[in-house]
Amino acid sequence: MKTQEYLVKEKLPLFWCAGCGNGSVLHAILRCFEKLNYTRENTVVVTGIGCWGKADDYVDTNTFHGTHGRALAFGTGIKLANPELNVVVLMGDGDGATIGGNHLIHAARRNVDVTAIVVNNLNYGMTGGQYSGTTPHEKITSTSRYGHIEHGFDLSGLVAAAGASYVSRGTTYGIVQLEKFIFEALQKKGFSFVEAISQCPTHFGRLNGMKKPADMLNWFKENSVSVSAAEKLTQKERENKFVVGNFVNRENEDYSTKYLRVINDAKKSKEGGK
């Protein structure tokens, strides 16, 4: 299928604000679907709730629109019930990493063979730009008017530590690199995770002196450092940077493979009368 054929044309134009990064990330994902010959039948796109959580509306594969923070629980169930499917779970930073943080770390720990793509726009976009678990220190949001007193999660670091097989972070400024990460993640057996730092000009940008979408892209450009360059920075220097690149790419047996082995062992033991 061609990239455009994965889009549900009747649902266009996209619901997202002008200048939002979601369209760029969705397009990159659909280009990867084309390259990998994903079909409608063998692919399930699973989402939770939020602006990015509406992405499944526009994708013409099998889709499942879940509840806020629970997309990975649904994705895990779908994969276990039918391990042949390509399961791609799309979540916002609030959805996937704040309310859904527990599901995220345990899906990574179990090494469930799904690809999770978190669009990290640094706030709860859909509900009015409140701070989320990834909002950077001192940034202004609708619920941190005097500067956020917390520090945001290093999401990729968290998922890597939890045991994922593949972890990369990119930005919508570096969309070609981001697409490469998505392409690699989709092909990885085991839990693969891509964090896409993306602009929310309507809420985050407007309150932080970046009124135009391009201002946010420039912010990403000027503050992105590669994984190797980041190693030479102090913790303080790294704090306000977006460390981009691949963090983890390792071979570990995935959950479905182990689970199927248990099913077979149980069947054999039953047949043997044990």
* Residues 211-250, mask of contacts with ligand TPP (x by CB under 6 A): ----------------------------------------
Dmax (CA) for the chain in angstroms is 71
Q: Which residues pair with 244 in a beta bridge?
A: 226
Per rule CB under 6 A, is residue 127 in the interface with ligand TPP?
A: yes
Q: Does 92 bind ligand TPP (CB under 6 A)?
A: yes
Q: Which residue has the tokens 């619920």?
A: 143
State in angstroms the smallest separation of the CB of 51 from ligand TPP. Answer: 3
Closer CB to ligand TPP, 112 or 196, in the complex: 196
Mapping DSSP to helix (H, G, I), strand (E, B) and coil, where does residue 144 land? strand
**In whole angstroms, what separates CA 66 from the centre of its chain?**
15
**DSSP three-state, residue 151:** coil
Work out whether strand 166-171 and strand 242-249 pair parallel, antiparallel, or are unpaired: antiparallel
| CA-closest candidate to residue 161, choices 111, 120, 112, 108 | 108
Alpha carbon 257 to its chain's center: 23
| Residues 7 to 26 in contact with ligand TPP, rule: CB under 6 A | none
* 125 near ligand TPP, rule: CB under 6 A: yes
CB of 67 to ligand TPP, least distance (A): 6
196 part of the interface to ligand TPP, by CB under 6 A = no
7 DSSP 8-state letter? B
Bridge-based pairing of strands 166-171 and 115-120 is unpaired
**E strand or H helix that includes residue 261:** helix 255-271
* Out of 32, 60, 73, 93, the residue judged to bind ligand TPP by CB under 6 A: 93
| Closest CB 274 distance from ligand TPP, rounded Å | 44
- CB of 171 vs ligand TPP, minimal distance in Å: 16
Pick the binder of ligand TPP from 126, 162, 194, 197 (CB under 6 A).
Answer: 126
Q: Does 50 bind ligand TPP (CB under 6 A)?
A: yes
| Residue 207 binds to ligand TPP (criterion: CB under 6 A) | no
